[in-house]
A and B are shown apart, each in its own frame.
Chain A
Amino acid sequence: MFLKKLIPLLAWLGLMAPLMAQSYTISGTVTAYFTGETLISATVYDMLSGKGALTNAQGRFSLTLPKGDVVLRVSYVGYDTQYDTFLLDANRQMNVALVSSLTLQTVTIRADRINSPQSSQMSAIDVPIEHIKAIPVLFGESDVLKALQLLPGVQSGTEGMSGIYVRGGGPDQNLFLLDGVPLYNVNHMGGFFSAFNADAIKNVTLYKGSFPARFSGRLSSVLDITTNDGNDKRIHGNVSIGLIAAKANIEGPLFSDKTTFNVSVRRTYADLMLKPTLALVSLADPALDKVKLGYFFYDLNAKVTHRFNDRSRLIGSWYSGDDKIYAGMGFSSGDYEERFDLGYKWGNMVGSLRWNYEINPKLFMNLTGAYTRYRNNISITMEDNEFYDTHMDYYKAEVYYKSGIRDITAKVDFDYQPNPDHTVKFGGQVLHHIFQPDVIGNRMETNTDEPVIDTVLGESIVHANEMSLFIEDDWNISEALKLNCGVNLSGFLVQGKFYPSLQPRLSGRWLISDDLSIKAGYSYMTQYMHQLSNSSISLPTDLWVPVTARIAPMYAHQVAAGVFYNFLGLADLSMELYYKKMRNMLEYRDGASFLGSSAAWEDKVCMGDGWSYGVELLLQRTIGKFTGWVGYTWSRTMRQFDREGQMLNNGDPFPAKYDRRHDLAIMVSFKPSEKFDASATWILSSGNTGTLAMQEYVDPVTGQEVSYVASRNNFRMPVYHRLDAGVNFHSQKRHGVLTWSISVYNLYNRKNPFLVFERPNTHYVLDGQHYSSALVKLSLFPIIPSLSLSYKF
């Protein structure tokens, strides 16, 4: 009912403005000609009036201009620019299909879309999926998060891990949106791979600061990932097989060009290769039965888009990804048989349904309903059967562990462009969170006289509601001055307590010349949930928990300023300074351990503050055979926990675990022809911090050996550096393109530290019979070559 009243009101709002201003609106969609994919952030620009607009996340644009001649230029990097000249004397609907440009098909970072001197947005990076695929990575498996780790302001955690640490924030302070829906666990295989299959992705945008008001819920970053809609012209796809995983992607029209689909699937296959060996083990010992052991992960992305007409589209998308470890073995011996089975499964599932509707040429609506779930289940089953002459005794014991989080989301957002000087976005969302911290069940049954045991232990389910309203305006005050201002009003209701938060956002751009601008921004962010983790490794047992009456929401103020410069259209240089102050952050108390249990978790953490500041430099070349970038970050990230009863480090400030002074990443791509391309990345960064007790003494009262820790994170691991390289050979076949990819991770075999520990009695000095321990680093990944083959048709 509410929507029925709202839409006419909004329609009136859109129609009244042009009547008063004697202007008309050009609206439509920009797509890729050969695939029909909508293009996000394409530029639609009237060369006569100097007014322009960008396409939104659905590829839609709306440009209101005064009555008169228009020379419209529609451009998108990697595509041929199109021009159209006409007399604008009425509202005009036009859909533009851009043709992929052969000369610009080299991989480029399209920073000119968001991070350009012209845009008012700062602290955001837009990375094309082609670039992510080109970056050589571990086991040759393209990885979105590892590509982002190469950008300034984004740090990796531990060696080989996919987690990201943005401007001094923790890994749980990143909001991962897959087609606008939050995803809670973004890792496979304990963090060595991210959950995002590059084949399914169309667009990746990372916001590190100056957050637009439409985003809320996390302190440090928003990673907005859009998946492919599907080709509306013809069926095509690709298949590939690599060192550890095989992938397939298929997309095309469904029934007609009004409906498209896109399906991508990826699965590791090490467990399948192990099966013959296990079969041999079973054959070798007749007493063994059905031996099974393995690990795999898979993910499935599916999307169906139906276009009712030029103004209305319905999109259904689905993602599911799981990791599974399984083991089992049976044993039988005459009158006795037993069996043991273990299953450990964790992963995400996201389903969403969206309706895009153009209410009028100036007003566009996006209505979304979504469900997301992360679950972590362990089950262990043991069965014993004993056979007697007259009967059989039967025992079965089952232990299971469950944890997870579920969200049900409803949101509506609008794009409203009353005139070329204002692009207004507004809307709201409601999320119902269902937290299931952890439940342990124990069931034992038998056909003997022993009683059946059936117990369930653990934290009860917690329901919470998160809601937010936002409005933002991208406002061209003058040719030189542009402002993006907005506010997000959010609230969180949990256990009868309501936490409201009013979060202002502001960013501005002063265009000194076409190639040079200065930008500045401020944002205030609030976060209502925490991830309890026992280590720096992303484990499936990490638990999401909501804020409580004792644990207040985290919030952060961030200011940033920067200079953006374009060298004659050949390269872009940007420099950003930022300062971020975070309150109510959590750190684990000394010696605290979660080990997958959230029991009494509030007693195991301390609340305190943190701050981070730094400078980020990005030099990137986007044109020519050689492309790439150099990113450098100098930063400092500190924590201070000095509240009564929640002190750490005696209340003194200490560096955060991932406080790194220097982070340098160089990425170079070379594409001399359509048959060959190569790329390399080199990373150099300061080591992570750690806590070492460097002095020891014996307490003479108790006899206990005491290790004295002077301060938290008082030790810095050795410098991290690594070179990765990869080449791709493409050959045109009858129905498609065959690509051989060879990549080498850690080319010069640098033993980077994953973990540092003390190894006793390592050094032996002959003269004085003197022993000493040594610090030893454990390295996970030496030089790792990999090979993959893909066929695109």
Chain B
Amino acid sequence: MTRLKYFFFLPLAILMVGCTEVIDFKPDNVEPYTVLVSRPQNDEVVTVQMSRSRFFLDNDNYGTGVSDASLTLTVNGTPYRGVYTPSFNGYASCGYRFAVRPQAGDTLTVSAVVPGTEQPLTAGTRIPLTPNLTITDYVVDTSYYGSYYYGGDFSFRLRFKVRSPDEQCYYSVRIRRAYNGGDDEEPVWDTDYLEEVYFECNDAVVNSLDIASNINLDNEGFWGNEMLFSNELFRNDEHEFTVTFNAWVNQGLRVAEMPLYVEIRALSPELYRYIQTTSQQSDFDELFGEPVQVYCNISGGIGVFGGQNVASFRAPAPRFEKFSNNTNNYFE
């Protein structure tokens, strides 16, 4: 009878033995792709970044810049040659600049010949029309719960109204915050804690998976996330956006000014889809879900060549009066 227990434990023991095994994975092609990334903007010098991708299992390879490419940009049929300029953005890519500032409505094509590759990279886009969005109103509400010594939660809301032209457009909204530095005498926002920004748009078609997009701000102004939407439902109509900021404010806050810049970008369809898919990919963490396929409009390579047109307005900063130790002493 005592041996009977082995009957139960043996299968379980076997079940636990070595359930993972490395696959001998040899895909047909592990060679890097040539990457071209550019977001030409109205009234801005066009810059194209060139690099090479890395095979996903090659951990030591961080990609390399492509410095020997020959690039040609045509704006409404007029060609311009690209000039290699060393990259200062810290990433493994090489920048090429063109002595042209395209205007809204211009049609652009780019062609890049890279030594060692069989076919040139080509792509096309258009600089969208300037966003015809009218800021008609805004309201700032503030609330704060915290203490001088421990810091606390801070939030405010910003509302603004927009008017969209009577055509299908793609937009991106980003909020920038001016950084006013700081020292012991003039405390600033705690940069260790990222702030959260929630967008609400009552009836707009938000072409991301979540209606409320989270935006993390840092002291550089903005990074990564932004709110993408199309004007499909409020075409030629006013629409109100509400942006709610929630932040952890560091100890010692007395007075803080936070001028805000609301930046509205009209996006070409190419750039819209690229931003949308890269944003989805960065948020993707499902073990069993379908990986996100990032949009690419580069023939002969990967990346994006998508035009944009930026308009922005400045919203007045919410002010916070100096408060004493017993003001809203939520934490004490």
Contacts and interface: CB of A to CB of B under 8 A. Distances in A.
A771 B112 CA distance: 32
B56 A695 contact: yes
A709 B293 contact: yes
Interface string A761-786: 11000000111111111111111111
A649 B294 CA distance: 10
Interface in B29-73: 30, 32-33, 35, 37, 39, 49, 51-60, 62-63
A775 B57 contact: yes
A706 interface: yes
B209 A708 contact: no
A264 to B, nearest CB: 25
Nearest to A244: B11
Interface stretch (A324-332, A553-561, A586-594): A586-594
A590 B19 contact: no
A594 to B, nearest CB: 9
A318 to B, nearest CB: 33
A709 B292 contact: yes
B214 to A, nearest CB: 15
B1 interface: no
Given A649-B293, A709-B291, A692 B21 contact: no
Interface string B290-331: 111111100000110000000000000000000000000000
A456 interface: no
B224 A758 contact: no
Interface string A311-349: 000000000000000000000000000000000000000
Given A697-B35, A778-B19, A708 B296 contact: yes
A593 B210 CA distance: 11
Nearest to B284: A591
Residue among A604, A776, A786 with the highest chain B CB neighbour number at 10 A: A776
Contact of B288 (A243, A537, A785): A537
A351 to B, nearest CB: 34
B74 to A, nearest CB: 22
B282 interface: yes
B289 A592 contact: yes
A760 interface: yes
A700 B49 contact: yes
Chain B: interface residue count, which band? 35 or more
A695 B21 contact: no
A707 B281 contact: yes
Given A777-B23, A780-B19, A771 B39 contact: no
A84 interface: no
Contacts of A758: 56-57
Given A697-B63, A784-B15, A708 B49 contact: no
Contacts of B19: 751, 778-780, 782
A531 interface: no
B23 A718 contact: yes
Contacts, number: 187
A607 B265 CA distance: 30
A778 B19 CA distance: 6
A591 B281 contact: yes
A547 to B, nearest CB: 22
Contacts of A589: 209, 290
Nearest to B94: A700
Interface string A510-552: 0000000000000000000000001111000000000000000
B7 A695 contact: no
A602 interface: no
Given A698-B51, A756-B23, A762-B22, A590 B288 contact: no
A772 B54 CA distance: 11
A707 B278 CA distance: 9
Interface string A708-721: 11011000001000
Given A592-B289, A771-B59, A699 B18 contact: no
A698 B278 contact: no
**Interface of chain B: mostly helix, strand, loop or mixed:** loop
B20 interface: yes
Interface string A638-664: 000000000011100000000000000
Contacts of B287: 535, 755
B78 interface: no
A700 B288 contact: no
A706 B294 CA distance: 8
A781 B293 CA distance: 32
A782 B93 contact: no
Contacts of A777: 20-23
A448 interface: no
B91 interface: yes
B91 A700 contact: yes
| From B52, B59, B290, residue with most partner A Cβ within 10 Å | B290
Which of A709, A759, A776, A778 counts the most chain B CB atoms within 10 A? Answer: A709
Given A697-B303, A700-B49, A784-B11, A772 B57 contact: yes
Interface residues of A, number: 68
B63 A704 contact: no
Contacts of B281: 590-591, 706-707
A778 B20 contact: yes
A102 interface: no
A787 to B, nearest CB: 7
A723 B161 CA distance: 67
A113 B283 CA distance: 54
B280 interface: yes
A460 interface: no
Given A592-B209, A776-B21, A698 B293 contact: no
B286 A534 contact: yes
Nearest to B87: A700
A92 B56 CA distance: 77
Contacts of B63: 696-698
Nearest to B54: A696
Given A590-B280, A591-B209, A708-B294, A696 B53 contact: yes
The interface centre, meaning the residue of A699, A775, A780 with most chain B CB atoms within 10 A of its CB, is A699
B89 interface: yes
A227 to B, nearest CB: 31
A534 B285 CA distance: 13
B288 A535 contact: yes
A648 B89 CA distance: 33
Interface of B: 7-8, 10-11, 14-15, 17-23, 25, 27, 30, 32-33, 35, 37, 39, 49, 51-60, 62-63, 87, 89, 91-93, 95, 209, 211, 223-224, 277-278, 280-284, 286-296, 302-303
21 contacts: A535-B288, A590-B277, A590-B292, A648-B293, A691-B293, A693-B291, A694-B55, A695-B54, A695-B55, A697-B52, A697-B302, A698-B92, A698-B93, A702-B224, A703-B91, A708-B296, A756-B23, A773-B56, A773-B58, A785-B14, A786-B11
Shortest beta-carbon contacts, A-B, top 9: A535-B288, A590-B292, A695-B53, A697-B53, A700-B49, A591-B280, A700-B93, A709-B293, A591-B292
Interface of A: 243, 273, 534-537, 587-593, 600, 603-604, 648-650, 691-704, 706-709, 711-712, 718, 751, 753, 755-756, 758-762, 769-787
Given A593-B289, A702-B223, 8 more contacts: A591-B283, A650-B295, A700-B95, A769-B60, A772-B59, A773-B56, A773-B58, A783-B14
